[in-house]
């Protein structure tokens, strides 16, 4: 059921994610127009109350905000190139995944066509969209975020990261680095513990406490990085490097993969060789900041 006070919104791209976005807008009462290259994908949404636009141009005209969610940035450009739709005067919110360069280039392209542009990233899977657990990251002009904030909040918990259009994509990939690092570290430990008959579920309880405990160090370590000064308040890097050697030896002795521990140690060894062995772990930011 649409709500007379809720702003109209258009969704272009009705794959798994685009359909979830359109459903969340409909549930929040927004008059919702949809368009997809293969029009059959709109059928269920139309039954739920969406309006199917006959063309990209008609889809843009239907709402002050158009949300794009297609495979990649190339598809975004292809769909507009194929349609010759008039972009002037509309606002695009591109929730398609990509990198920061693509986001900034697409912002310039949209501006050249007279459109306003916000870029974004969805840190959630489709079933979570429309709940507070769906994190939606946005970047682009603050005024455009302010204008459309209430509409976008139908999708989840929305954070505006700043005016630089590339920020949402950067946070997106930084979050992926966090996710895979935690998962790989957990799998390393699980492989080791399983050699002693400890099952994954048992170790997962301990691993979770470790991950949460280490996460608590981040604000203090971040202060050191932002100050550019790394006094060894709790441990020196060379102490950590000795523990890394122990992790490598244990992995090899148990016959499990030692690639990840060796990567940790190689980076620490380079920082120690550069004279940072007496400093604290976040001094490794210098290794991470090189190409």
Ligand X SMILES: NC(=O)c1ccc[n+]([C@@H]2O[C@H](COP(=O)([O-])OP(=O)(O)OC[C@H]3O[C@@H](n4cnc5c(N)ncnc54)[C@H](OP(=O)(O)O)[C@@H]3O)[C@@H](O)[C@H]2O)c1
Binding mask 181-220 for ligand X (x = CB under 6 A): ----------------------------------------
Q: Using CB under 6 A, which of 96, 100, 151, 188 touches ligand X?
A: 96
Query: Is 75 a binder of ligand X (CB under 6 A)?
Result: yes
Residue 42: CB minimum distance to ligand X, A: 10
Q: Is 17 in the site for ligand X (CB under 6 A)?
A: yes
Provide φ and ψ at 119, rounded to 5°.
-110, 155
Evaluate whether 235 touches 280 at the Cβ level (below 8 Å): yes
Nearer to ligand X, 14 or 272 (CB): 14
Q: Across the chain, where does the E strand assignment appear? A: 9-12, 32-35, 51-52, 65-68, 91-94, 116-123, 135-139, 157-160
Helix (H) or strand (E) holding 150: helix 142-152
Interface with ligand X includes 168 (CB under 6 A)? no
Asked if 5 interacts with ligand X (CB under 6 A), we say no
Q: How far is the CB of 68 from ligand X (least distance, A)?
A: 9
* Rounded (5°) CA angle 182-187-189: 100
Q: How many residues does the chain have?
A: 291
The DSSP code for 127 is G
Position closest to ligand X via CB:
15
For residue 59, state whether it binds ligand X (rule: CB under 6 A).
no
Asked if 77 interacts with ligand X (CB under 6 A), we say no
Taking residues 124 to 153 in sequence order and writing x for each that binds ligand X by CB under 6 A, - otherwise, the string is: -xx---------------------------
- Report if residue 270 touches ligand X, rule: CB under 6 A: no
Q: Should residue 102 be labelled a site residue for ligand X when binding is judged by CB under 6 A?
A: no
Q: Give all strands of the β-sheet with 135-139 in edge-to-edge order.
A: 51-52, 32-35, 9-12, 65-68, 91-94, 116-123, 135-139, 157-160
| Among 15, 29, 141, 162, interactor with ligand X by CB under 6 A | 15
């Amino acid at each position: 059921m649409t709500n007379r006070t809720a702003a109209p919104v258009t969704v272009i791209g009705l794959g798994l994610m685009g359909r979830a976005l359109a459903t969340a807008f409909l549930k929040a009462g927004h008059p919702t127009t949809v368009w997809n290259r293969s029009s059959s994908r709109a059928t269920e949404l139309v039954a739920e109350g969406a309006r199917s636009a006959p063309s990209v141009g008609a889809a843009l005209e239907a709402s002050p905000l158009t949300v794009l969610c297609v495979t990649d940035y190339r598809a975004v450009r292809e769909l507009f190139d194929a349609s010759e739709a008039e972009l002037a005067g509309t606002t695009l919110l591109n929730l398609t995944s990509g990198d920061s360069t693509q986001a900034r280039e697409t912002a310039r392209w949209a501006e050249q066509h007279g459109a306003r542009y916000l870029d974004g990233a969805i840190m959630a899977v489709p079933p979570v969209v429309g709940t507070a657990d769906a994190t939606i990251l946005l970047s682009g002009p603050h005024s455009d975020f302010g204008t459309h904030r209430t509409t976008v909040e139908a999708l989840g918990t929305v954070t505006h990261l700043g005016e630089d259009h590339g920020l949402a994509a950067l946070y997106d990939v930084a979050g992926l680095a966090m996710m895979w690092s935690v998962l790989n570290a957990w799998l390393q430990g699980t492989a080791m513990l399983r050699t002693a008959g400890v099952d994954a579920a048992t170790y997962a309880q301990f691993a979770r406490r470790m991950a949460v405990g280490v996460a608590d160090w981040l604000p203090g370590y971040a202060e050191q990085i932002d100050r550019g000064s790394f006094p060894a308040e709790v441990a020196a890097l060379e102490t950590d490097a000795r523990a890394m050697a122990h992790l490598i030896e244990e992995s090899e002795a148990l016959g499990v993969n030692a690639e990840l521990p060796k990567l940790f140690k190689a980076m620490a060894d380079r920082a120690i060789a550069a004279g940072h062995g007496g400093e604290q772990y976040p001094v490794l930011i210098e290794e991470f900041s090189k190409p």
